[in-house]
Amino acid sequence: MNEIDALRRMRTALAEQERPERLALRVDWRNDAVRERRRRGFRVPLLAAATATAVAAGTVGAIALRPGDGRSPTRGGERTITPGNALLVAAANAQKAPSGTYWHTKTVMGEVYAVGESTANHYKIDSRQATEVWTDGNGLRRGSHIDMADVPLTPQDKQKWQAAGSPGWVGVPNPEGGGGEVHLDVANRYGGRSPFPPYTEKFYGMTAGEIAALPTRPKALEDVLLGLKGHWHAVSEDGEKEEPIRALPGQERIRALTDVAGGLLSTAPAPPRVRAAVFRMLAAQPGVRAEGPGTDPLGRPGTVVSLPLKTTAPLGMYTAPKQLGTYRRQFIIDPANGSLLAIRDLTATPPKGSRPLPPGDDGKPRSLKARDMPDRFNRPGDLVSYQAFETAEWTNANPPR
């Protein structure tokens, strides 16, 4: 099966159509290898509201983030900021970014798999793929899927992989409840780019023109986004009706709002003033804890904030939860550039127990088991999966044909 055939087959299995690069997360295009991204999506953590002091200069060059420190910035020397200030700095700089003909993004997605039989005797592989997309002002998108080598997660994992003989194929338990193994391609035998046909996109039901016309004041923007209708529950049921985000209670409402906000800060063609308003809107949301400085999965320095959320299966093909643990999301921003660098999931509670699933295509019963989960040996705080936005910028350069 080639790449395009794989996408077409997967598309017919979905209740509603999805763009090709999203479908890439659901299917592995290699023979004898399965790499479905089960924890994808844009559920971006939020930042608490704070004063706008130290934002006027639009820079964080002399600002240090101290988690839990609510003091106002001081004059001279090191300046203390709150998480909300970090987002407001990002907003000031996002607004200064240039516009262009195309919104160009390159997104690297990874999911971490444990290889081995026990907590004491295993190593981790980062199973990766990427997409690169150019979107014009009408929402027409051109791009390609990029198959990347799966790699040991850390230098210590690389040592253990080498001690195991540096295998090109690595077998891990099938996390989908069907038994057997799936295989990760560390040798990258099937690497390369696979273009997908041009298509016109709607983002959360909005056209590119509607995104360009979104309010640039944060409260007005939030009001519009809360009115967006969709299947916003973490796990949707068959026949579930669409509803606006504002109809959701408590944390579900925040999760859905940040789904949209994350898309507007990454893959959607939002103009600079709208992106700035998204940052300011997030700065006004409750329930966020600052984590301080950190690096994203591509090694880039940024500011890390988190919102604990119980994440479950993505919407679309699957209607049953595909996780047996709980996870929290981290949002990594670069305030100086006004950009969202990455979203990553960390283990909150490791997987345990089991859960029945609907029968597979063969009619046989299935169930999820903790012993088959990719994160079965994880400890709280360990990386589970991520999306890193290597490129997210307006450009006048034409996409490749």
Q: What tokens appear for 106 in the block?
A: 């390159």
pLDDT at position 348: 87
How long a stretch of residues is the chain? Answer: 401
d(CA 292, CA 67): 6
CA dihedral 346, 349, 353, 358 (to 10 degrees): -40
CA–CA separation, 135 and 133 (whole Å): 6
Per-residue pLDDT, 308: 52
**pLDDT at position 82:** 53
- Give the whole-angstrom CA distance, residue 236 versus residue 225: 20
Host H or E run for residue 128: strand 122-136
Residue 167 half-sphere exposure toward CB, CA atoms < 13 A: 14
Strands 63-65 and 79-81: parallel
pLDDT of residue 311: 54
Q: Quote the CA–CA distance of 329 and 288 in Å, as a whole number.
A: 11
* DSSP-based three-state secondary structure for 259: helix
H/E run at residue 277: helix 272-283
Is the Cα torsion angle 360, 362, 368, 370 positive or negative in sign? Answer: negative
Q: What span, in angstroms and rounded, lies between the C-alpha atoms of 321 and 129?
A: 23
Residue with tokens 């969202």: 340
Q: Is the dihedral of CA 12, 18, 21, 26 positive or negative?
A: negative
Number of H helices, E strands in the chain: 8, 18
Distances in whole angstroms, Cα of residue 43 to Cα of each of 26, 46, 245, 323, 342: 18, 9, 14, 16, 11
Residue 378 three-state SS = coil
- 3-state SS assignment for residue 49: coil
Residue with tokens 């490129």: 391
pTM: 0.78
pLDDT of residue 378: 95
Whether 254 contacts 307, CB under 8 Å: yes
Enumerate the domain spans of the chain.
31-395
Name the residue with tokens 């390159």.
Answer: 106
* Cα atoms in the 13 Å half-sphere on the side-chain side of 125: 29
Burial degree of 219 (CB within 10 A; 0-12, 13-18, 19+): exposed
Mean pLDDT by 10 residues, the chain (401 residues): 34 37 40 35 30 36 32 37 73 95 97 94 96 96 94 96 95 85 87 90 93 98 96 71 90 82 94 96 76 91 76 39 77 93 90 83 83 94 94 94 78
- Three-state DSSP class for 383? strand
SS3 content of the chain, % helix, strand, coil (to 5): 20, 30, 50
**Cα–Cα distance measured from residue 131 to residue 24, given in angstroms and rounded to the nearest whole number:** 8
